[in-house]
Structure 1
Amino acid sequence: MDKAIGVIDSGVGGLTVVHELMRQLPKEQLIYLGDTARCPYGPRSKEEVQQFTWEMVDFLLTKNIKMLVVACNTATAFTLKDLKEQLDIPVIGVIQPGARAAIKSTENNQVGVIGTEGTISSGAYAQALTKIKSDIRVSGLACPPFVPMVERGVLSGPEAKAVVSEALRPFSNNKEMDTLILGCTHYPLLKSTIQEVMGEEVTVISSSEETARETSTLLEAHQIMNRSDLVPLHQFYTTGDLEIFIEIAKTIFHESNFQMLTIKQANISTNKVW
């Protein structure tokens, strides 16, 4: 089936999910929309997040997508249920896949979750984890500085180390936690720094790989897998600064993959693209 898979995120973080989708599903075309103009979603109200998410979805529906991946933890927490109920295409979020990956990883049932204020306050990860394994202990921590820093393109170096160290300080005395979920798709872009701060004894989980695997399973289940041998051309859209978006995309994708992308700026309220 030659329709594309749509992927939405509050900014550039969802590109980490797209990268994994491209690796695991090389025949599938992807259309990505990052709402960088209104990022971050974490501090916003549930109603705002729902409104912005539906505006992104409506934009992608004009592209005739066959499936939707919500590559934003805050949007997943607040809108996934409604999206699944109201859309007639398969919809997947990033919270359940991340929770399943953490369950597989932890050896002592002590799991930490870092994310935006909205994701942590929603309790979505704790609910997903305990639904799978009732005796698991979950510690949540909001890290508000991470998303704005990533959106500026600061992914490593002294500033990133200082910000990450300060934000994760509340976890410094938790010696029992053996698994940490990156509960925001922006955070894998800081993974090496987060790992350094947390220490090698903690397994840092990104939901990207698990999300891509579940996407593949859904495509097969709904019999909408692309069988063409043509190399897909992917479409990326951002609502904010185009140059910053392109620079961050270049750090995520190898040059060969980057050649398969078209990147444009979009106004999702008017569906105007330039």
Structure 2
Amino acid sequence: MKQKFTSRSPIGVFDSGIGGLTVAKSIFRLLPNENIIYLGDSARLPYGTKSKETIILYSIECLKFLLKKKVKLIVIACNTSSAISVPFLSKITTVPVLGVINPGASAATQTTKNHKIGVIGTRATINSEAYQKQIKKLDKKAKVFSQNCSLFVQLAEDGWTDNEIAELTAKEYLTDIKKSGIDTMILGCTHYPILRDTIQKTMGAKINLIDPGEETAKEVKKVLSERNLLNKQKKNGYHKFFVTDFPVNFKSISERFLGKKISEIKKVKLT
């Protein structure tokens, strides 16, 4: 699929729901002049419980939607889809496709001093071993310690990010990984940056927390710069939001994740 686009063309971002908005927020912050189109496939979340074949199919459908919007680059702001779909999507379009796994793993290996790296994420992401494999590829000496922290997703969506329940949950999940001696830890789910302060408090100030969303935003800037596709307009870019369903409290949760008001969210069909 050959696409026509210019530096003014938007960046496309997709996720299975709203977690990817933390990635979009990092892109907004780093590249305020860029136009961005966000697609949340909320009708079919979570992707993490689906088969590999289904995840690839859903990801292709999200890709096709964004390509129709004439995007110049696509970010898969979903750890599950990033772990599985990037190679497949890259084969069917000339538009650059970036996931969140590689930038996160790369930042962790560059940050660690003792080669002990923690990864926290949902069960699907941890079981995929995507971060573990990429870290080992980049640093043969690395020891990776993983922990499923699935309940963090609900805490983030409910806005329970810095209360006693959040702190107790973090302590329960993170006690063992804290004892492992890691000096760096990847927040391997797009919901987790919402709980960053509580996670940092639990792990201690000396532990370096890596947000793959922030690292992906840096990679977006690098790729666009290399291709001379950075938007040079002086004003802030537009941000458009599309979803495949409106779950309960979707708008208020989305605004909490983004840290700004959303004027309009449009519902669309992908098939």
Query: Is the 8 Å Cα contact of residues 31 and 235 (structure 1) preserved in structure 2?
Result: yes
Query: Is the 8 Å Cα contact of residues 114 and 182 (structure 1) preserved in structure 2?
Result: yes
Query: Is the 8 Å Cα contact of residues 42 and 74 (structure 1) preserved in structure 2?
Result: yes
Range with greater deviation from structure 2 (183-192 or 50-59):
50-59
Q: Cα distance, 1:16 vs. partner?
A: 1.3
Query: Aligned partner of 2:209: which letter?
Result: V
Structural mapping, 1:216-255, within 5 Å: 216-241=221-246, 244-255=249-260
Matched position secondary structure for 2:39: strand
Indicate the percent of aligned positions where both proteins have the same amino acid: 39
Q: Distance in 1 between matches of 2:196 and 2:38?
A: 22
Give structure 2 stretches of 5+ with no counterpart: 1-6
Query: Aligned partner of 2:138: which letter?
Result: I
Instruction: Establish whether residue 193 from structure 1 lines up as the match of residue 198 from structure 2.
Output: yes
Structural mapping, 1:66-145, within 5 Å: 66-145=72-151
Range with greater deviation from structure 2 (245-254 or 131-140):
245-254
Range with greater deviation from structure 2 (220-229 or 76-85):
220-229
1:19 matched to which residue of 2? 25
Q: Distance in 1 between matches of 2:178 and 2:139?
A: 25
Matched position secondary structure for 1:219: helix
- Large movers: runs of 4+ above 6 Å: none
Could you state the TM-score of these two structures normalised by the residue count of structure 1?
A: 0.88
Aligned residues between the structures = 265
Give structure 1 stretches of 5+ with no counterpart: none
Query: Aligned partner of 2:223: which letter?
Result: L
Deviations 1:126-156 (A, max 9, x none): 1211111111111122222222333344333
1:267 matched to which residue of 2? 268
Deviations 1:186-243 (A, max 9, x none): 1111111111222223211111222111101111222222122243221012333366
CA RMSD in angstroms comes to 2.0
Query: Aligned partner of 2:203: which letter?
Result: M
Q: Distance in 1 between matches of 2:46 and 2:257?
A: 20
2:10 matched to which residue of 1? 4
Distance 1:267 1:154, change over 3 A: farther
Q: Distance in 1 between matches of 2:160 and 2:68?
A: 33
Query: Is the 8 Å Cα contact of residues 242 and 264 (structure 1) preserved in structure 2?
Result: no
Query: Is the 8 Å Cα contact of residues 42 and 247 (structure 2) preserved in structure 1?
Result: no
Q: Distance in 1 between matches of 2:56 and 2:147?
A: 22
